[in-house]
Amino acid sequence: INFCAMNMKHLTFIFLLSLFSSLSTLANVDPYMQFLQKGDSCLADYNYKSAMEFYEKAIALKSNYATPKIRLAECHYKRGNYPACELILEKAAFFNKDSLTHEALREMFYCKAYNSAYEAQILWGSILLERYPYDGDIVAALAGVYNNDEILLPAKAVDLTEMYLTGDPDNIAVLSRNAYAHYLGKNYSTAVMRYNKIVELGDSSVNTNYYLGMSHWRLHEYEEAKDCLIKAVEMNKYESAGMIYHLGQACFEGKYYDEAIKYLQMAKEKFTPSKAVMTIINQDIGDACRQKGMYLEAITAYKDAINLNYELMDHIIFYQISSCYDKLGDKVNSKKYLEK
């Protein structure tokens, strides 16, 4: 009996010791860490709204800590509130730029894109690539900013992408930006080489075929230009009037006059609301018809151009009409338009 009593006392002591230890542990749990961990759990479950509530509570306890701010910014970013994300990250970076994680830097970069703040996007992209030079997504995106019509610094895009491609020469996204930068910089031979490599790697998209065709056209390689532009136009389901027009021009300059007339007429129908563009296309159709010996059709096209923008016509179009009438043996009208 005494043995049992001693054993019970021992067990009671162990139980009380364990209880006091547990209570002590609970008392010592950092509320900040509790909120942070609960926020992380919600974030992992894509429950951004609840995660934000826990991160805000963590920030209220330790406002000088960067981690909950960065994760709160991530929640705003995932929910599409880019201004809020941007504001939080800018404040965090003000105190310590190096506190921003790789993902936070990417969020800042893309937030600037959503606001079309291109100069700021270049700044943050450059900061990111100083720390993470192998981030091909950002290399391609930053090169895209340099190639943007509002920035138009293709030489910088070339430098940036060429440096990256020395280590990863088959990155299609970066190669595409590099090829387009060469195209913008009028380095058409290099652009053709880059676009051909992109095709070899398996990308035969509309843009790839279009700019490969345009590069061939600029090099006066009209057959190659025609083939690539036809692919682009067909893949785009004949929706882009500009692509169709450039195909028509390439056919004309390559002396494929039947195809030139076909595609220029098609572009004309697409461009109908624009008088300025219609004028140019009618002139091009007239030129193609005249080269084919279709003088009546050429005269009609030239006159359509004149009727659209008479005040902008120069003497060349009147000379062309006169020439067509002369070919038809109509000396009266030939003289009439020659005098204009």
- 143, 161 contact by CB (below 8 A): yes
Predicted pLDDT of residue 339? 80
H-helix or E-strand spanning residue 72 = helix 66-78
Predicted pLDDT of residue 340? 74
Which residues are CB-contacts of 9 (< 8 A; sequence separation ≥ 6)? none
Give tens-digit pLDDT for 124-139: 999 999 999 999 999 9
Q: Which tokens is 290 given?
A: 């005249």
- 336, 299 contact by CB (below 8 A): no
Closest CA relative to residue 260, chosen from 230, 295, 220: 230
Coil, strand or helix: which one is 339?
A: coil
Q: Which tokens is 186 given?
A: 């009028």
Q: Is 238 exposed, middle or buried (0-12, 13-18, 19+ CB in 10 A)?
A: middle
Predicted pLDDT of residue 226? 97
Question: What Rg value do the Cα atoms of the chain yield, rounded?
Answer: 34
Predicted pLDDT of residue 308? 82
State pTM to two decimals. Answer: 0.80
Residue 203's region, left for phi above 0, alpha for psi from -120 to 50, else beta, is beta
Predicted pLDDT of residue 313? 65
Predicted pLDDT of residue 23? 46
Predicted pLDDT of residue 262? 96
For the chain, residues with pLDDT lower than 70 are: 1-29, 272-273, 310-314
Say how far residue 263 (Cα) sits from the centre of its chain: 28
Which residues are CB-contacts of 211 (< 8 A; sequence separation ≥ 6)? 179, 180, 183, 191, 195
Predicted pLDDT of residue 311? 63
